[in-house]
Amino acid sequence: MGINSTKLKVAVLMGGMSSEREISLLTGQAVLDALKRIGVDAVPVEADRDAVEKVKQAEVDIVFIALHGRYGEDGCVQGALELAGIPYTGSGVAASAIAMGKVLTKDICRAHSVPTPDYHLFSSNISEEELINIGVNMPIVVKPANGGSSIGITICEKQEQVFPAIIKAFEFDTEVLLEQFIRGPLITIGIVADTILPAIEIEPKLGFYDYDNKYTAGATDYHIPAKVSRKIEQEAIEMTLTVHRALGCKGMSRSEVIVDGSDKCWFIEINTIPGMTETSLLPKAALQKGISFDGLVKMILQEALERDVEGING
């Protein structure tokens, strides 16, 4: 069954219980509107504990997952849908779980010779004395080990900033990552189906690319094409492709790479369900390549439908 089939019915799974719920609702509504514009019978489904049952009752052909964060982007809902025999967009269980876990992603990077910043992982609160004994070199980034949308992240320039930042990060996760901070341009590269989208260089007007700068219109400048050299851009693209393929990502992904003062690229993270809001980067990059928002949604859905026909799980 293809998108042009008059019988195709799609459930857009949105909302959820993670700290990124509000962004998911924006993504879901944008996707829902796009599907209707291209003639698809699409219905919204709130991603609560009864989500799979509601999807079954809706009698849809496929689910467009518009969830971000825990339970939606980490393989949980993907596994539930697979057990129910319901096709869905995007990456499968394993790729979703690995990409959501920043440490697992780093392990994959290192196994494939992709540079990624050094880190320390904590699974419980530690004392300031223990922190000092570890000997963390400044500056560092303190972040929840699982999650996205830059929620709970702090860049620490001084030792005394670290402990409060750890406490803050533990509000969003049971594990916290202390990561070497790399200074330099932040590049993001999206992949949709088999299409590599143009690199975008991200330049916040104030501070770093946190939640507010990410989702506040006008707070960040986006350079397309990126201001870095084409050689560096190509290195970042190759790095992104390596990680995307190593994780087994499907449908779409958006990765972030930082270029240091020596023009060395460092892989930071990969998102398997990038945001699809009016300020989101995947639609910006797609538009630069001549792909409209509706066209982008259609590509993601078509890729998933083709995999379903071939009998390949998400």
- pLDDT tens for the chain, 314 residues long, are 567 656 899 999 999 888 789 999 999 999 999 999 999 999 999 999 999 999 999 999 999 999 998 888 999 999 999 999 999 999 999 999 999 888 999 999 999 999 999 998 988 767 777 776 676 788 899 988 886 656 788 888 888 888 889 888 888 888 898 999 999 999 999 999 989 999 999 987 766 665 555 555 666 788 999 999 999 999 999 999 999 999 999 999 999 999 999 999 999 999 999 999 877 899 999 999 999 999 999 999 999 999 877 655 54
Nearest Cα residue to 172 out of 154, 149, 146, 140: 146
* Per-residue pLDDT at 256: 95
- 64-to-31, 38, 58, 86, 299 alpha-carbon distances in Å: 8, 14, 13, 11, 12
* Per-residue pLDDT at 314: 46
Q: How far apart are CA 51 and CA 57, in angstroms?
A: 10
**Domains 9-89 and 119-180 fall in the same CATH topology:** no
Please state which CATH number belongs to domain 119-180: 3.30.1490.20
First to last CA, the chain: 16
Instruction: Give CA torsion, residues 314, 62, 58, 30, to 10 deg.
Output: 100
* Per-residue pLDDT at 40: 97
Q: Which helix (DSSP H) or strand (DSSP E) does residue 111 occupy?
A: helix 102-111
Domain spans in the chain, listed from the N-terminal domain onward: 9-89, 98-115+183-288, 119-180
Q: How far apart are CA 293 and CA 276, in angstroms?
A: 9
Nearest Cα residue to 219 out of 231, 209, 228, 227: 209
Q: How far apart are CA 309 and CA 294, in angstroms?
A: 22
Q: How far apart are CA 233 and CA 236, in angstroms?
A: 5
Q: Which residue has the tokens 């499968």?
A: 92
Class at the top of the CATH hierarchy for domain 98-115+183-288 = alpha beta
Nearest Cα residue to 35 out of 253, 309, 273, 301: 301
* Per-residue pLDDT at 299: 97
Name the pTM for this structure: 0.89
CB count, 10 Å around CB of 98? 24
Answer for the pair 161, 33: CB distance below 8 angstroms, yes or no: no
Joined tokens for residue 246: 């190593």
Answer for the pair 299, 192: CB distance below 8 angstroms, yes or no: yes
Q: In CATH terms, is domain 9-89 a member of 2.60.40.10? A: no
Q: How many residues does the chain have?
A: 314
Q: How far apart are CA 186 and CA 307, in angstroms?
A: 33
* Per-residue pLDDT at 194: 87
